[in-house]
Amino acid sequence: MIWPPTFLCLGLCALVAPVETKRRCPVCGREPRPRFRYCPVCWPFCNNRHKNLPIAERVRALIEALDSENGGFRCCYTGMLLILDDPDSPWYLSFDHIDPRKSRLAVCARQINEMKQDLTGEEFRTVVLALSDYMVKGLPLDPGVIDFVCWPGRFEMPAPASLGRSPPSPKGCKVCRMTRRPYSIYCNRCRSFIYRKPEHVARSEAMIEGWDAARQGFVCKYSGVLLDHLNRKSPWFMTFDHRFPGKKGFLVVCAAWINYLKSDLTDEQFRKMLKMLADRFRDGAPFDRDALGL
């Protein structure tokens, strides 16, 4: 009879066979979904929805940001716990290229990711501190403090104009008082930013407010730096920012890169954001997202 040897062989195999360990998520160590490698919390950030971001980099960034005690992930810039179940929230988890030229990723809030844009991590920290010092303490911002190594396109800072280079005309441009274009109330320079542009009245008022007669140019509302009105590829090119996004009017002139940095924040929210980020970068102060009212 072959049955006893067969059962004996199966019993021996069961004894010597290794015990199957319980599978764990490689990111957080939780129990994964059936037939999945990752747990339900980590799966949305490790699946194929982010095909343009290497899976290995995403996993590494998530492991670095993991806060196992609170069961979540922390933003690398603000240190706060991120929201994992609401993609429309400004504090939803997103992946940021620390250096846009390289593949290394970090976990941060979607709002911070939108503000950082083409800045490197070091540049972002530098400009936050410099802008906060200008807005809070009135310290002048040095435009050479940042090189914009990842800015798309070459740029040069505008040369400072000599004082009194072009004396104002009694019937000059409505904005800068220089020689007007024939049959127009603006000079050629100002007209290019106003004529046939949306919200042209608000643009004109913003340019009048931003005009610096001594420096013969337009000054950024948020940095106090002389803006470039010629090179559209420059991060210091003059743009118009809505102090209250989504509301017509209430425009100010500012540098293109600061317009991206401000994103969809109001003027007050932007100043609070910079102040809290600067305190976080300097002293490690806690970041209170509820104070922004987003």
The predicted structure's pLDDT at residue 118: 87
The predicted structure's pLDDT at residue 11: 52
The predicted structure's pLDDT at residue 57: 92
The predicted structure's pLDDT at residue 163: 40
Give the tens place of pLDDT for each residue, 174-223: 999 888 888 889 998 999 999 888 899 999 999 999 999 998 899 999 99
HEC secondary structure over the chain: CCHHHHHHHHHHHHHHCCCCCCCCCCCCCCCCCCCCCCCCCCHHHHCHHHCCCCHHHHHHHHHHHEECCCCEEECCCCCCECECCCCCCCCEEEEEECCCCCCCEEEEEHHHHHHHCCCCHHHHHHHHHHHHHHHHHCCCCCHHHCCCCCCCCCCCCCCCCCCCCCCCCCCCCCCCCCCCCCCCCCCHHHHHHHCCCCCHHHHHHHHHHHEECCCCEEECCCCCCECECCCCCCCCEEEEEECCCCCCCCEEEEEHHHHHHHCCCCHHHHHHHHHHHHHHHHHCCCCCHHHHCC
Query: Low-confidence residues of the chain, pLDDT below 70?
Result: 1-21, 153-170
The predicted structure's pLDDT at residue 156: 54
The predicted structure's pLDDT at residue 78: 93
Distance CA 220, CA 241 (A): 10
User: Are the CB atoms for 114 and 241 separated by under 8 Å?
Assistant: no
The predicted structure's pLDDT at residue 74: 94
The predicted structure's pLDDT at residue 63: 93
The predicted structure's pLDDT at residue 16: 44
